[in-house]
Structure 1
Amino acid sequence: MAPPRRPGAPQPGPGQTGPAPAGPPPEQRTGQRPPERLRQRSPHGAHAAPGPVREVLEPGQAPWSTEPESSFSTWARRFFRGLVVAVLLLAAISGIRSWISPNRTPETVVTGQNSFPADESRAIATRYAISYLTWDEQTPDARAAQVRLDLAAGLDTRAGWNGRGKQAAMIAYPGEVKIDPGGVAAVVDVRVRVQTYFLKGRVWTPGASSWQRLSVPVARTAARVVASGAPTFVPDGPAPLPENLPESGVPDDDLTAATLKDAEAFFSAYAESDNKVAAVTAPGATIRSLGGAVKLEKLKDWQVYTGNDDERRATAAVTWDGAGDTALDQTYTLTLRRTVATDGAQRWQVAAVG
């Protein structure tokens, strides 16, 4: 009797005596893989307590649970979200504005007026003014040679002189330089001391000397500054003091009376020698004397003004005796400083003149 056949086992075909050849595994025949059972060893051994049993999910049920969100969390989330959006918008607006109108650091503008050689202009104008106001009809070429040193090439070296008379410019002092907006030309204010001569018989005799004021035109070239034409005379009259001149201050009559003798001693020493001045000035102060050029005749006026306890301002009107019977009045501004001796005695001494 044949043994019972295993269910599902392939049967031998006709003419086969042995077992049928093994076919493909069941998962290949059916297209499905049988479920595998995973075994995991419990960390607590075989006697560990069983874990909680998971509930069976209904079809369509999500494998998580939701909890209601609090109102504060909702507000905070919306607030920070709005804050981020606002920052991004501000950054975008600032960036666009910088593209349209970028902020540029102002640069120092170098103009022709800033770079104009004012010092060289003063030097050229001063020498040219002396040459211009000096002439002698007996040596007319001498003036032309001096004018040519500073006058621009190609201009007439006679510079308006008719070739007659005699005059000498002795000293000159330059002043303000007014530069043209283009930065190429300028005019220089120059004051010149002039000695005139008059012909007495056949001899030139010195006459009166006077100060004259000129406006000298100059121009800047690639090589140097040159006089660009003949100067013009400018009036040099008096002018009143400005109305906003600083006031002397409030007088301190008590301190004025207390320091009067010390002021007289100072100006007497100030006229004579440095050693005598050093003996009556405040410690640490260095004041040079007049070296005997004059002598003190009298202190006409002395005034100390209110201030702090250590330093005061004072003015003095002094009459100096000069050579012969000459006398000259001058006004000085001084700084007084309070000094304390080792015995506690206090004095006010001159610390500076002017």
Structure 2
Amino acid sequence: MSTFKSVMRKVLNLPEPRRERKPDLQSVEHQKPEPERASLPAGAARWVAAGQRVKAEQPANSRTAVAVKSQQTREPSAPWRVEEENSGAKFFAKFGRVVLWLVVALAAITGVRSWFWPAQAPKASPVQVQQGPTYPVQEAQAIASRFAYSYLSWDEAAPQDRAKALARDMPKGIDTTAGWNSKGKQDVIAALPGAVAELSDKRARVHVDVLVSTPAQPAKDKEAAKPAEQKWMGLEVPVLYSSNRIVVTGEPGIVGVPTSGPSVTDQPAADSDVQMSDMTKSTVDAFFAAYAKGESDAVTAPGATVPPLPAGMTLGGVQSWNVDRGKGSNRTGTAVVRWQVAGAELEQTYRVELTRVASAAAERWQVAQVYGGAS
């Protein structure tokens, strides 16, 4: 404990506490100067000798007390004792003073208040997460398509089949025979779901395009016979998302189907590389000839895979072939091809990717991929 206190006093550069030192009586007596007899005046020698005899006759304790008192009177002691410090103590003292001044400087800079009441960090603002579509669009399209298939299919010979099919997608307890007079016959060939218009209260309206087929009808009374017919019909189905599923809430409505698409801007034609087109024309002709026979793997680039065409297609010829301007070992061009299918002749447009294949003997261009359409 005393060692720790001593180190802390040296670190803080404080003085050592005063230590009382008991005088050495013998040394005091020995250090007491003897009066020089020679310097005494005449007649004083006998008085000195008498004093020495009296002193000798006094008890030892009295002599010691007198000596101590005389020593204290003559030599006042210092308040502390100076001791020589070793190198380690000096280092720790200097280091402690440096640390102490650094703490004082830090307190002046940051403020003592921040040590006990640190400033609170600002609250982070909540992260805004963008939510995706809340309505089950795909499920709504699937249910509306199935309902449209059932709704536009009927047969007066089996009216209960339609009612059972409609009950799968309508609320429980609803009359599924309402809205049809149980007459006639019609079949659905295809039902294609379209746009889903989300309304309020988890309701939506789904558009479905339906291809229907009506059988030929014999003449009745004054009406002429009607041949078999296929036509597209639009059906808009009201749906509701309830209990984690889509249900049709009521009678749908038949609407028309657009007779044409919207107007679009013409695509700019790509500049043609005439020299490259002439150089690769034979490559493209050989590819489409093999393509029609289902042997495209024999003329495509190594590693390329082009699925064969359906059976029954005969090549009428490559009408035109133009390679886009460009550089490098991969080039793209447009081919216009005539096909004969089921007694008809169709003109088709393809985008063909070519790649340059080099070997030790020669270098040539081969087809790497084929896409239908001009874009």
Q: Deviations over 1:3-25 (max 9, x none)?
A: 7458xx9xxxxxxx986984995
What's 1:196 paired with?
Answer: 214
Q: What does residue range 146-185 of structure 1 map to in structure 2 within 5 Å? A: 146-158=165-177, 160-180=179-199, 184-185=202-203
Question: Which of these residues, 343, 353, 369, is aligned with residue 335 of structure 1?
Answer: 353
How many angstroms apart in 1 are the aligned matches of 2:83 and 2:126?
Answer: 75
Calculate the TM-score normalised by the size of structure 1. 0.68
What's 1:106 paired with?
Answer: 127
1:315 paired to 2:334? yes
1:349 paired to 2:350? no
Percent identical among aligned pairs is 32
Q: Deviations over 1:154-205 (max 9, x none)?
A: 43313533333221112212233333465x2233232211012354158x97
Alpha-carbon shift at residue 29 of structure 1 (Å) = 8.9
Question: Which of these residues, 239, 245, 261, is aligned with residue 239 of structure 1?
Answer: 261
Alpha-carbon shift at residue 211 of structure 1 (Å) = 1.5
How many angstroms apart in 2 are the aligned matches of 1:316 and 1:207?
Answer: 39
Q: Deviations over 1:30-61 (max 9, x none)?
A: 9x88523799999xxxxxxxxxxxxxxxxxxx
How many angstroms apart in 2 are the aligned matches of 1:21 and 1:282?
Answer: 128
Assess if the C-alpha contact under 8 Å between 1:277 and 1:287 holds in 2. Answer: yes
Give the letter for the 1:140 counterpart: P
Give the letter for the 1:292 counterpart: A
Alpha-carbon shift at residue 27 of structure 1 (Å) = 12
Larger radius of gyration: 2
What's 1:49 paired with?
Answer: none
Calculate the TM-score normalised by the size of structure 2. 0.64
Alpha-carbon shift at residue 261 of structure 1 (Å) = 2.0
1:36 paired to 2:53? no
Assess if the C-alpha contact under 8 Å between 1:152 and 1:227 holds in 2. Answer: yes
Q: Which segment drifts farther, 291-300 or 232-241?
A: 232-241
Q: Deviations over 1:106-158 (max 9, x none)?
A: 242446x34x3333222211110101111123332221111111112243313
What's 1:72 paired with?
Answer: none
How many angstroms apart in 2 are the aligned matches of 1:298 and 1:249?
Answer: 23
How many angstroms apart in 2 are the aligned matches of 1:186 and 1:296?
Answer: 48
How many angstroms apart in 2 are the aligned matches of 1:20 and 1:121?
Answer: 125
Assess if the C-alpha contact under 8 Å between 2:291 and 2:309 holds in 1. Answer: yes
* Secondary structure in 2 matching 1:200: coil
Give the letter for the 2:77 counterpart: E
Assess if the C-alpha contact under 8 Å between 1:166 and 1:198 holds in 2. Answer: no
How many angstroms apart in 2 are the aligned matches of 1:19 and 1:311?
Answer: 130
Gaps of 5+ in 2: 1-45, 85-104
Gaps of 5+ in 1: 10-16, 43-79
Give the letter for the 1:211 counterpart: W
Change (3 A) 1:236 1:303: farther
How many angstroms apart in 1 are the aligned matches of 2:189 and 2:83?
Answer: 123
* Secondary structure in 2 matching 1:259: helix
1:249 paired to 2:266? no
User: What is the count of residue pairs matched by the alignment?
Assistant: 292
Q: CA RMSD in A?
A: 4.2
How many angstroms apart in 2 are the aligned matches of 1:35 and 1:221?
Answer: 107
What's 1:55 paired with?
Answer: none
1:218 paired to 2:239? yes
